[in-house]
Structure 1
Amino acid sequence: MQVIKYAFQQHGDSRGQLVALEEMKDIPFTIKRVYYMYDTGEGVRRGYHAHKSLEQILICIHGSCKIMLDSGFEKKVVSLEKPYEGLYISNNMWREMYDFSSDAVLLVLASELYDESDYIRDYEEFLKMVERGELDTNESNESR
């Protein structure tokens, strides 16, 4: 499994830092939805799903958290702790977000509007779909 982390260009001086993100330039898809998570309680895990079509970039713009990615073949844990770093999550990738610092703000840029039918929320069903070849996982698409 290939983990893709982006280091976005920072612009700054004595006044502070700025990061500008442009779709199809800094972000590899058209951004159709933006949301963020904050005030996540200690010990809480979020996510527990995959998407059939949707792609995402996750940026912990404040604080830190960890993301567990699971392709159905391999699992990897990625730490997000810099406001200028983004984690690309392809479609058909199971994800769980956890170990949020008390001040964490996790920003998500999504390639599609919210659509409940795009979610795979049952892990066992996700694994069965991968096994049956119903999901095009990154195991067969490492070129991104």
Structure 2
Amino acid sequence: MSELKDYYQLITLPKITDSRGNLTFIEGNEHVPFEIKRVYYTYDIPSGAERGGHAHKELFQFLIPISGSFDVILDNGNEKTTVFLNKPDIGLLIKPGIWREINNFSAGSVVMVLASDFFYESDYIRDYEEFKSSRK
């Protein structure tokens, strides 16, 4: 089994600072290591809510805190780590084969996700025990 650190990476994105405000951009295969095929975002997240709670077999995801902050709990079946995201120019690359949960959302949080492929339910592992069994 690979080490947990092999499944994720914090990536600092380009930031253009201007007196009118900052601008950050993302180019697929340049700032993230995949062609971006899908973008989605979550918002109006109720206090105490959790998102995620699954793993992907082949999908790469890049999470960006567009607004607010949140925790991403990453788990390889043996060890866990929590990554705190709160800057819109720093995103979290999550590679396939890792369980993720997102919680501790601040008020007004917006989580944008860039994905390496279209939505396929067959790519999801939604049962934690099934995930742990698949890791052995």
Could you say which residue in structure 2 is the equivalent of 1:49?
A: 54
Tell me whether 1:92 sits opposite 2:82 in the alignment: no
The superposition leaves residues 47-73 of structure 1 with CA deviations (integer Å, 9 ceiling, x where unpaired) of 110000000000001000000000112
Give, in whole Å, the separation in 1 of the partners of 2:12 and 2:57: 26
- Number of corresponding residues: 131
Shift of 1:20: 1.0
Secondary structure of 1:128's aligned partner:
helix
Give, in whole Å, the separation in 1 of the partners of 2:9 and 2:51: 20
Tell me whether 1:59 sits opposite 2:31 in the alignment: no
TM-score of the two chains, using structure 2 as the length reference: 0.94
The superposition leaves residues 17-46 of structure 1 with CA deviations (integer Å, 9 ceiling, x where unpaired) of 000110111011010100000011111111
Could you say which residue in structure 2 is the equivalent of 1:78?
A: 83
Secondary structure of 1:13's aligned partner:
coil
| Structure 1 ranges of 4+ moved more than 2 A | none
The superposition leaves residues 77-104 of structure 1 with CA deviations (integer Å, 9 ceiling, x where unpaired) of 0000001010010001100000111110
Which stretches in structure 2 are left out of the alignment for 5+ residues? none
Matched-pair identity in %: 48
Amino acid of the structure 2 residue aligned with 1:67: V
Give, in whole Å, the separation in 1 of the partners of 2:64 and 2:100: 14
Tell me whether 1:6 sits opposite 2:19 in the alignment: no
Could you say which residue in structure 2 is the equivalent of 1:102?
A: 107
Which stretches in structure 1 are left out of the alignment for 5+ residues? 132-144
Give, in whole Å, the separation in 2 of the partners of 1:13 and 1:23: 24
Give, in whole Å, the separation in 2 of the partners of 1:72 and 1:18: 38
Secondary structure of 1:129's aligned partner:
helix
Secondary structure of 1:91's aligned partner:
coil
